[in-house]
Amino acid sequence: MNPFHLAIPVENLEKCRTFYRDVLQCTEGRSDTHWVDFDFFGHQLVIHQKEGFKAKKRQISNSVDGYDVPVPHFGVVLEWEVWETLAEKLKAMNTEFVIEPYVRFQGKVGEQATLFFLDPENNALEFKAFKNIDRLFAK
């Protein structure tokens, strides 16, 4: 699979750098005075400092499985055990979840573990896992 590249705006570069490096344990790559790139679980995430940028505190959402899923959002599909470890770590850090870790679509095609939270600039992140990764695109 080819890695994706995602660039997002942030106002406080150092706060976000600390979050992605220390909380999500993403390895820092190249950087300059106004941007930093990270190895985001095998993908390239770049945070760009933009003076005066203010992310919306209240995201728009779409109803999925009875929850208000923030849109837009980004994240990765992890192995089940890695997702469980991340969920426990985030709980131990008293993360304020937008959607608490749970298994959605139980017993159906597309059954998956998911969780949502915000980075320091209110960018919504989703991490999910499938017990059977072959079901990722199943109908």
| HEC string for 18-39 | HHHHHHCCCEEEEEECCEEEEE
Taking only the tens place, the pLDDT of each residue in 33-88 is 999 999 999 999 999 999 887 776 667 888 988 889 999 999 999 999 999 999 99
In a domain, 37, yes or no: yes
In a domain, 55, yes or no: no
Structural domain count of the chain: 2
CA distances 19 to 38, 84, 85, 87, 118, Å, are: 11, 20, 18, 16, 11
Domain of 103, CATH number, reads 3.10.180.10
pLDDT surpassing 70 at residue 14: yes
Residues 123 and 74 in one domain: yes
Residues 90 and 41 in one domain: no
Residues 119 and 83 in one domain: yes
Identify the domain containing residue 65 by its residue range: 60-135
Residues 76 and 119 in one domain: yes
d(CA 106, CA 110): 8
